[in-house]
């Protein structure tokens, strides 16, 4: 079940600019936890790695997920917010 939730989360990250911006605008991981709980997203890091690996077509290497996630924030980083993905990456690293 959590793999399906991770898949829904990934689809939303790819398609919902407002959702990505909301995550990029947080200051600490607890804010992401709240957003995820409010949106009913609950999954493991393994599930997220698996789903993202399916999307990119290969098993992810260590640290690759974090790099891919930051790719979603290139525009925000280029427009003067270099830390746009910092808290999101920290949150991912803390997933169980």
User: CB 23: neighbour CB atoms within 10 A?
Assistant: 20
The candidate with the shortest Cα–Cα distance to 44, out of 83, 7, 88, 77, is 7
Provide the residue-wise pLDDT of the chain in tens; the chain has 96 residues. Answer: 799 999 999 999 889 989 988 888 888 899 999 999 999 999 999 999 999 999 999 999 998 999 888 887 777 777 777 777 888 889 999 999
Question: In a 10 Å sphere around its CB, with 0-12 CB exposed, 13-18 middle and 19+ buried, how is residue 76 labelled?
Answer: middle
Tokens of 39: 């949106």
Provide φ and ψ at 18, rounded to 5°: -65, -40
Domain ranges of the chain: 2-94
């Amino acid at each position: 079940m959590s793999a399906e939730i991770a898949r829904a989360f990934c689809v939303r990250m790819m398609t919902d600019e407002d959702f990505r911006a909301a995550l990029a605008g947080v200051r600490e991981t607890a804010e992401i936890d709240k957003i995820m709980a409010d949106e009913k997203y609950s999954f493991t890091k393994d599930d997220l790695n698996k789903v993202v690996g399916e999307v990119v077509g290969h098993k992810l290497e260590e640290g690759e997920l974090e790099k891919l996630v930051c790719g979603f924030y290139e525009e925000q980083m280029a427009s003067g917010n270099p830390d746009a993905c910092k808290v999101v990456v920290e949150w991912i690293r803390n997933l169980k």
